[in-house]
Amino acid sequence: MRPFSGALPVYFTREIRDIERLAVAAGAAPLMRRAGLAAAETARDRLLAGDRTSVLVLAGPGNNGGDALWAARHLKDWWFRVDVVFTGNPAALSPDALEALEAWREVGGEPLSEIPADGRWDGVIDGLFGIGLQRDLEGLYLDLVERVNALELPVLAIDIPSGLCSDTGRIRGAAVHAALTITFLALKPGLLTHLGTECCGEILVNDIGVDAPALLSPRMRVIDEESAFAPLPPRPANSHKGDFGSVGILGGAAGMTGAAFLAGRAALKLGAGRVYAGMMARQAPALDAGQPELMVRRCDDVLSLEHLTCLALGPGMGTSAEAARVLDAGIRTRLPIVLDADALNLLARRVRLQRALQGRHDPVVLTPHPAEAARLLGSDTQAVQEDRVAAAEELARRFRAFVALKGAGTVCAAPNGILHFNTTGNPGLASAGMGDVLTGMIAALLAQGLDAGDALHLGVFLHGAAADALAERGVGPVGLTAGEVADAARDLLNAAVYA
């Protein structure tokens, strides 16, 4: 998925329906006609570019099918060879969709009932089901989706790939795998997270002449580069290390000291003035030989420092009783804190720690992966993945925290119900130590005075963007390492802030 420019709004299906009603009430031109034309233009310019001349259009029984029929009509007018498979019942169509079917017939189009076995096309337009799908595909529709995927042709999905849940990104039985998705009015959560990142290909947003935020203020947006970097201004010439905060990393149990070192290195490279790695292990290294600027201490020694401006707890911490004691002490400080990894596992197991966290008045950031989120919610990983937005919202509400539910399309939730989606990153981030680096990055930004939401958004955006930049240079995604991401994140931050 390509990062979006501009903090674009994101809406649930029910909100899109409200926007449609408000637009019609305000006198907007027929939305289906606009959507059909937009889809046709995209198919002409992208799907059928060059010497491609033929297209298979799948038109379903609802308004998404009407969009597809209008697209077919326009493409036929433009002299493309168009075959339409229509699965609806004309008697059951909405007036707008029926008008679209008649428009297709007016130009001599004859709807087909199934995909011709001997058909040859250069691309496919998927208009079977849109955002209103409420059940798993089966029978004819399951077969059509599987047939389309088996054609191995480039697919343009209208609004959302058929079979993908618009609100959650989970697949309802099967889903079309599109090369392009043109979505109307605004983005939807299912396009941006979980399996939406596998099915949508490149996402194009077309507002079809409707200013959605003017009709319904969004509580969800995409994190974009401009808004992510805006809270971090260039440094004054007359600066010293005390101006940029001091981070304490608490973790590093026996056999896991590398996690604390990775987090500490990332905090240094994202600009913290001083970083202390507090180690649980009794025989921890006295020095990070690869990063001697990182000051190594015992956890209690770090907790006793009076000049700290942020704590990060969890990287390599382990789940011992001693680790729980250190975590409890960290939670009870008056510092902004970032909790990850074993800090989250300890939190999930101990009600006393949960109550202490819920009673804090200082900023809290949680960065769970789906399994850690499931433990915190008393759920399971599959349930979390099937509704990542709801899981992130519940964690933010329950712990009065800013939350990044990591994974494909990281969901960031604030305690006030505001949500953001991250679209940077690639599979190279599925590697050991990446979460430790993200923890250190966010801690460094908090230490420098960013508020928790800004620090979370910039950290998550930059973490993914660094992986993308490395992949573009041929460093990954296979074999990408966490340390490389920290270095690349520093480069991107400096390029953005000092451009």
Per-residue pLDDT of 86-135, as tens digits, reads 999 999 999 999 999 999 999 999 999 999 999 999 999 999 999 999 99
- Of 164-173, 279-288, 423-432, 459-468, the least confident: 279-288
Residue 284 has pLDDT above 70, yes or no: yes
pLDDT of residue 323: 98
Supply φ then ψ for residue 368, to 5 degrees. Answer: -80, 150
Region 417-435: mean pLDDT is: 97
Determine the distance from the C-alpha atom of residue 236 to the mean position of all C-alpha atoms in its chain, rounded to a whole number. Answer: 34
Categorize the per-residue pLDDT at 498 as very low, low, confident or very high, splitting at 50, 70 and 90: confident
CATH architecture of the domain with residue range 226-497:
3-Layer(aba) Sandwich (3.40)
Categorize the per-residue pLDDT at 1 as very low, low, confident or very high, splitting at 50, 70 and 90: low
Per-residue pLDDT of 24-37, as tens digits, reads 999 988 999 999 99
Q: Which of 260, 249, 250 is nearest to 324 (CA)?
A: 250
| Sign of the CA dihedral running 372, 403, 13, 6 | negative
Burial profile 120-133: b = 16 or more Cβ within 10 angstroms, e = fewer: ebbbbbbbbbbbeb
- Of 266-270, 279-283, 337-341, the least confident: 279-283
Boundaries of CATH 3.40.1190.20 in the chain?
A: 226-497
Determine the distance from the C-alpha atom of residue 399 to the mean position of all C-alpha atoms in its chain, rounded to a whole number. Answer: 21
How far is 272 from 263, CA to CA, in rounded Å?
12
User: Contact at 8 Å (CB) between 395 and 365?
Assistant: no
pLDDT of residue 2: 66
Region 292-296: mean pLDDT is: 96
Per-residue pLDDT of 149-175, as tens digits, reads 999 999 999 999 999 999 999 999 999
Tell me if the domain spanning 9-219 has CATH number 2.30.30.40: no
pLDDT of residue 407: 97
Q: Helix (H, G, I), strand (E, B), or coil: what is residue 297?
A: strand
How far is 157 from 164, CA to CA, in rounded Å?
11
User: Contact at 8 Å (CB) between 55 and 27?
Assistant: no
Burial profile 204-223: b = 16 or more Cβ within 10 angstroms, e = fewer: bbbbbebebeebbebebbbb
In percent, the amount of the chain with pLDDT more than 70 equals: 99
pLDDT of residue 482: 98
Region 190-216: mean pLDDT is: 97
Helical residues (DSSP H) of 178-241, grouped into ranges: 189-192, 196-199, 212-215, 225-229
Q: Which residues contact 264 (CB under 8 A, 6 or more apart)?
A: 247, 249, 275, 276, 277, 288, 291, 294, 440
How far is 250 from 275, CA to CA, in rounded Å?
11
Partners of 251 in beta bridges: 279
In percent, the amount of the chain with pLDDT more than 90 equals: 96
Boundaries of CATH 3.40.50.10260 in the chain?
A: 9-219
| Sign of the CA dihedral running 291, 294, 297, 300 | negative
Per-residue pLDDT of 60-91, as tens digits, reads 999 999 999 999 999 999 999 999 999 999 99
Per-residue pLDDT of 440-455, as tens digits, reads 999 999 999 999 999 9
Global pTM reads 0.96
pLDDT of residue 200: 97
Q: Kind of pairing, strands 402-405 and 364-366?
A: parallel
Q: Which residues contact 306 (CB under 8 A, 6 or more apart)?
A: none
Query: Which amino acid makes up residue 427?
Result: P
Q: Which two tokens stand for residue 344?
A: 């989250």
